[in-house]
Chain A
């Protein structure tokens, strides 16, 4: 009940009353009353050519609390800045207002300037009379001058209300969590670990390696993918600072930069990973055989108990209980009694300071929409299936056969941009499909020189070192390029495919009779990424991938402090780019770990506990989970607050205030837009 009441501490109040009577009088000057210095910048002629800056400065001088006002040619210049510092000293200023250009570029400069003169940087106020005045009223000098005065008046009334703010420091737990152990995640984990910090590397699959482990060769050098990745995987497993958690998923993440609490679920493998040696005896005895969807894209088979792939790290078996018939053949076969059918999921609680998300991507699945007959015609396959088909350790031992009749295809076509650059599905370019198609085409031509390979493309995109040369080589190798996206694919009785495509370079309609068709499918973010994204509350970009804090200047940061995204998690990219982003994440993350502390935004919200009634309306408003009700009290986690202030609007009592943009400050600005007509 919100009835008006108070405790009766009346005595002291009365005593104060008697004393106050004398004090109020004659107290027309407050000791810490704002003393504002106003500096009007001419910015050469940019402002001075339109606005009468001296008039503006004189007007500013007549405003309450302004003790000093002057005009500078270039306020941001060295001499302009030293004038500000001098004025602060000479006039004992405790607020500084600069009327010049846009705060978006120059506010940091002046904040630093006043800070050097001993003022809190948040006691600086910027008024934009260039972009918002002189440049947009170039022909109306009088009006522009009048408007500039009013803008300065608004700034002064806001400056009066400014309050010093301190950035907050929070301690950082010296450990990192890397989610996803593909090549980007492995790189990030290794880099952080090598800088001497503890890393938990969590991978949902039974082995690390990610998509790169499935690939046959890598462009543009055509070296064997697993041959270069394998040693790195072993290195990850060996690194003492890395604690590897495979076949594990993130269940919950709480906390904020420096102090994340993470709950990890270790899915039951039904194998004691300590004693298992990965010898494979159990696999031999297992009577159940199912398609190997996990690693071989459904081509070939695996057993119910299986080792993910020969180079898997950790090289341990696991049991697929969904197909297991509980015959216990494996249990009997195992020399080290490592099979444990009673095993259950277990959990770990991790405390980490930073989180790197390298969850990668899913290959676009053309099955549901039957793109180019995929899923209808046996001999239409995806690029990733092709990788497994031509891989020496793949189901066919590297022999290229077509799935329909297990014969060697001679005429092979690639269709580019499947699931990419398509307004109906994904608008973005998946960036690596051109290159892998070129690579696969080359590999086929190398292995089977009698084969014909067609690449049907819209644009061939080959940036970066040696990529264009790689394209040239493909052309030299006799691979045929057709610029055009096929309209129709039909299957003949022999399983061959008729592809109708318009070659837009020659304006001719071609009808190709191909043995096999490879769809160069792109990358999509996928469900498991989305799950992680929601747990972490990272923003989602329009393409479904996670969003970086700034597309250019903060490409691996997120809007959440202490959470970084790298590799394809942020959007499609190739291996070198992913690896460098992994390193970038490591570098960004280690900034916190090595400092041991995190500085958070000074502009945050504060709750006035006397006014807050704990109604909780604000809590769901915060997109960063900075607000929570704990034991009937509102708690603001400053480290999570980004200072958007939207909660302050939801607050019915006004108890929540955004610092530096408080209601008083904004209302002071609103109110000083207007003046008496006579003024």
Chain B
């Protein structure tokens, strides 16, 4: 009876919930609660409860057939060395150390690593009253007024208790542009031009999120709002280590959003894509289109701990151990540095080998760990709150408020994604419905228990619906659906 128990963190979002992964002798994994984990007290959301679904182990492959790791590394090196326009993508879903290793390869190739997110949270200036790594979640409980630009229940459930605590401490909570939230005192369906009506001041907190499909304009609008009223701003982020990755990137990150990368591939400007635990098929709203785009690449090199759609498309897959087995650190959204109990360094070693093949220097885990710790200004200590302020600063002046983007043709609706970990990782979930306004029910003559047909240029599909109080003209869903063509899709809607 040998059962392995790993202390690790949920990869779903930046909260970085501590948990145990148990692995039985047959390799079946299950979650157990780690009650002493300070970020979450052992509590887990739906994604956390289902984390084993996430760990579908990748297999090392070369052009679609199983290969051993050295051959794969050689094949990858061969393809990368000859390529002229290489783009490297790591959204922050792996350890800081592996990310550093990935950056080393980029250096050898003379390129930079993208996180697919624009703008980088680390580039948000402190002038805007926020910490680069966000505020500590404990601090969220002390805010006097909170403006929510996300749906915590669906998107970042582990902050619900923080918000409830804030409310118990007397905070007023307003939900902006999202569905009616039980914990919010009011829901306001207002555009950026009316954000001042939110009544925020320097004791207030703005909670929003930044992710690969974020609208930069929206982010700037929020930063601008924070700057104007002196409120703190806290950006939630998907992926376990997006904060750490951003910090590690200070020097050699580029600022391409994922959509930009995909456009460049489409346009032939990018011919080779190397990804580290990042799957554009899963990340892009229109998965089918993403598949077509990726097929246009000359080289698609995937370094990944888990099997996902992109490993099916890749020319070379370099498989690493599952995240929970890895040695390494993660930095959560509040800047808390957390360390896995695992000792797996296969991913690092593979990247070291790859770097060597490409003519760069070899490295090992210890080196990278040291460099990372140093880069965040905290060498030697392994746990603790990090509030580094070394990030490059970005000008955060006023931004043109662009409301024209929301012009929706008569009889059409805007489909808005409530991004959540299930969507990012395209995991099975029971959010198989769209949210619809009560007025729409009447307008479309919907039958109780019936379905709606969503239509876009991608085609039509049937879906269940739930009646909620949501902003007018909008359809929301927490499920990735094939008719979507982008983060905001204009769709037609009919009852059936």
Contacts and interface: CB of A to CB of B under 8 A. Distances in A.
Does a CB–CB distance below 8 Å link A and B in the complex?
Answer: yes
Contacts of B31: 3-4
Contacts of A675: 447-448
Contact of A27 (B446, B450, B461): B461
Contacts of B460: 25-26, 28
Contact of B442 (A28, A64, A672, A678): A678
A560 B220 CA distance: 76
B28 interface: yes
Contacts of B449: 157, 671-672
A64 B448 CA distance: 11
B458 A25 contact: yes
Contacts of B32: 3
Interface string A1-24: 101111110110111011011101
Interface string B13-55: 0000000001000011111100000000000000001101101
Nearest to A26: B459
A64 B452 CA distance: 12
A28 B453 contact: yes
Contact of B49 (A4, A24, A25): A4
A673 B313 CA distance: 49
Interface string A40-66: 000000000000000000000001100
A14 B425 CA distance: 12
B81 to A, nearest CB: 28
Contact of A18 (B28, B59, B306, B309): B309
A678 B29 CA distance: 49
Taking each of B32, B311, B459, which has the highest tally of chain A beta carbons within 10 Å of its own beta carbon? Answer: B459
Given A4-B49, A676-B446, A10 B306 contact: yes
A674 interface: yes
B187 to A, nearest CB: 22
Contacts, number: 100
Contacts of A8: 27, 55-57, 307
Contacts of B291: 18, 21
A20 B288 CA distance: 9
A631 interface: no
Contacts of B458: 25
Contacts of B4: none
B287 interface: yes
Contacts of B52: 3-6
A411 B29 CA distance: 93
Interface in B392-448: 426, 441-442, 445-448
Nearest to B50: A4
A64 B447 contact: yes
B253 to A, nearest CB: 29
Contacts of A64: 447, 450-451, 496
B312 interface: yes
A450 interface: no
Contact of B29 (A5, A13, A24): A5
A493 interface: no
Interface of B is mostly: mixed
Nearest to A27: B461
A679 interface: yes
A28 B496 contact: yes
Contact of A5 (B28, B306, B451): B28
A5 B30 contact: yes
Nearest to A676: B448
Contacts of A14: 56, 307-309, 311-312
Given A18-B309, A25-B459, A6 B28 contact: yes
A676 B53 contact: no
Contacts of A676: 441-442, 446-448
Nearest to B57: A8
Nearest to B28: A5
Q: How large is the interface on B (under 10, 10 to 19, 20 to 34, 35 or more residues)?
A: 35 or more
B260 to A, nearest CB: 22
B495 to A, nearest CB: 10
Interface string A640-679: 0000000000000000000000000000000110111011
Taking each of B31, B447, B460, which has the highest tally of chain A beta carbons within 10 Å of its own beta carbon? Answer: B447
A10 B426 CA distance: 12
A14 B307 CA distance: 8
Contact of A6 (B53, B307, B309): B53
B144 interface: no
A60 to B, nearest CB: 13
Contacts of A10: 56-57, 306-307
Contacts of B312: 11, 14-15, 18
Given A3-B22, A25-B482, A671-B449, A17 B461 contact: no
Contacts of A24: 461, 482
A108 B52 CA distance: 50
B448 A674 contact: yes
Contacts of A28: 453, 460-462, 496
Nearest to B55: A8
Nearest to B462: A28
Contacts of A674: 448
Given A5-B30, A25-B461, A28-B462, A679 B482 contact: no
B57 to A, nearest CB: 5
Contacts of B309: 14, 17-18
Given A6-B53, A8-B57, A14-B309, A25 B483 contact: yes
Interface in B378-394: none
A255 B426 CA distance: 50
B453 to A, nearest CB: 6
B447 A679 contact: yes
Nearest to B322: A8
A10 to B, nearest CB: 3
Nearest to B480: A21
Contacts of A11: 59, 307, 312
B298 to A, nearest CB: 20
Contacts of A63: 447
Interface string B264-290: 000000000000000001000001100
B447 A13 contact: no
Contacts of A1: 30
Interface string B309-331: 10111000000000000000000
Contacts of B496: 28, 64
A11 B304 CA distance: 13
A9 to B, nearest CB: 8
B266 to A, nearest CB: 17
Contact of A3 (B30, B53, B306): B30
Interface string B480-496: 00110000000000001
Contacts of A20: 482
A2 to B, nearest CB: 9
Contacts of A3: 22, 30-32, 52
A20 B306 CA distance: 20
Contacts of A678: 441-442, 445
Nearest to A3: B30
Nearest to B481: A24
B484 to A, nearest CB: 11
A671 B32 CA distance: 37
Nearest to B26: A7
A1 B483 CA distance: 40
Interface string A374-413: 0000000000000000000000000000000000000000
A22 B288 contact: yes
Interface in B218-275: none
13 contacts: A3-B30, A4-B30, A4-B49, A14-B309, A18-B291, A22-B482, A25-B458, A25-B459, A28-B453, A157-B449, A672-B449, A675-B448, A676-B448
Interface of A: 1, 3-8, 10-11, 13-15, 17-18, 20-22, 24-28, 63-64, 157, 671-672, 674-676, 678-679
Given A11-B59, A14-B311, 5 more contacts: A3-B22, A4-B31, A10-B307, A21-B482, A25-B459
Leading 7 A-B pairs by shortest Cβ distance = A3-B30, A10-B56, A25-B459, A10-B307, A21-B288, A26-B459, A5-B28
